[in-house]
Amino acid sequence: MNEYDKFSLDGRPIYFERGQSILEAALAAGVYIPNLCHHPEFKPHGSCKLCTVKVNGRFGSACTIKAMPGQEVASDTPELNGNRRVLLQMLFVEGNHFCPGCEKSGNCKLQALAYDIEMLTPHYRHFYPVREIDATHPDVLLDFNRCIMCELCVRASRDVDGKSVFALAGRGTASHVVVNSPSGKLGDTDFALTDKAASVCPVGAILSKRVGFAVPIGERQYDVDPISAQASARQAEEA
């Protein structure tokens, strides 16, 4: 890392390594930029758009734009957070998200971001889509009602597990994750609870069976600290 490799994020200097995206560099420096489809172990995807920032006055995804010396990046502004609130509202009305009954509550990135960005209502008219639950697998439950189309499971299963168990099919709001088996059921695949794809879902669409509220609500990951505080906490731990 050299002295000149830094950009400015909301006025703070962020040092980065060549090749890092703005998002990677910011997170590494302990500065949080909201994100959902990003995962440090996977190539940037750029679909959720929560990480939309302004780089030298132009809008773009922090996860796909490479950090460059001298960039002026704005992220934590009323305008950008306002847009993020709208994006979260869109995700909430597009699916069927009933947090109180969801085992992922408190560990869910979508919910955590909604709290953090102060999304008080879903605002838009709910789509109430009819989506299926797939309980055919002995160890894993799929509840597509909560899917936000981030494709992390698709990427993990293809790129890490080498199984390509999932794919994104359809178009527009008819987009949906499908399971790669002639029956379309997870039970007919070689998916395993130990797969990377079983643990990457940011929401409660892929859940381990026979685990119910082992950690009580109120003591879960994002119940303790807001999601935005975790990047700086992680960085403090590592330092």
Partner 1 sequence: MTTTQTGLGTYLERILKRHGRDSGRLVQILRDVQAEFGRVSAEAMAILAERLSLPIGDVESTRDFYSFLTSEPTGTYRILFSDNITDRMLGNQAIFDHMARRLGVSRGVVSADGLASLDYTSCTGMCDQGPAILVNGMAITSMTLRRADQICELVRSRVPVAEWPNEFFRVDHNIRRADMLLGTDFTPGSALRAAVAMGREAYLAEVKRSNIRGRGGAGFTTGVKWEAARNARGDARYVVCNADEGEPGTFKDRVLMQFYPERVFEGMALAAYVVGAKLGLVYLRGEYLYLKAPLEEKLSELRAARLLGDSILGVDGFDFDIEIHMGAGAYICGEETALIESLEGKPGRPRIRPPFPVSFGYRGQPTVVNNVETLCKATEIALHGGAWYEGFGTKQSTGTKILSVSGDVERPGIYEYPFGVRISQVLDDAGAKNPKAVQISGAAGQCLTTREFGRRIAFEDVPTAGAFMVFADHRDMFEVARNFAHFFQHESCGFCTPCRVGTRIQAGIMDKIAAGHGTQYEMNELQHLREVMRTASHCGLGQTAGGAIADTIAKFREDYEKRLARKDFEPAFDLDAALARAREITGRDDADSRMLSDA
Write out the residues near partner 1 by the rule CB under 8 A: 44, 46-50, 52, 59, 61, 64, 83, 86-87, 90-91, 93-94, 124-125, 127, 148-149, 164-175, 178-182
Residue with Cβ nearer partner 1 (29 or 33): 33
**Nearest CA among 118, 43, 125 for reference residue 88:** 118
CB 239 to partner 1: min, Å: 32
CB 191 to partner 1: min, Å: 12
**Nearest CA among 13, 9, 11, 16 for reference residue 32:** 9
Residue with Cβ nearer partner 1 (43 or 209): 43
Residue with Cβ nearer partner 1 (29 or 111): 111
The secondary structure of residue 57, as a DSSP letter, is T
Q: Annotate 120-131 with DSSP letters as a single string.
A: -S--SPP-----
In this structure, are residues 142 and 85 in contact, taking their beta carbons and an 8 Å threshold? no
In this structure, are residues 212 and 103 in contact, taking their beta carbons and an 8 Å threshold? yes
Any idea how long the chain is?
A: 239
Calculated CA dihedral for residues 213, 215, 216, 218, nearest 10 degrees: -130
CB 205 to partner 1: min, Å: 15
Residue with Cβ nearer partner 1 (93 or 217): 93
Gap between the Cα atoms of 56 and 209, Å rounded = 47
CB 186 to partner 1: min, Å: 11
CB 36 to partner 1: min, Å: 9
Gap between the Cα atoms of 80 and 67, Å rounded = 19
CB 47 to partner 1: min, Å: 5
Residue with Cβ nearer partner 1 (10 or 188): 188
Residue with Cβ nearer partner 1 (70 or 170): 170
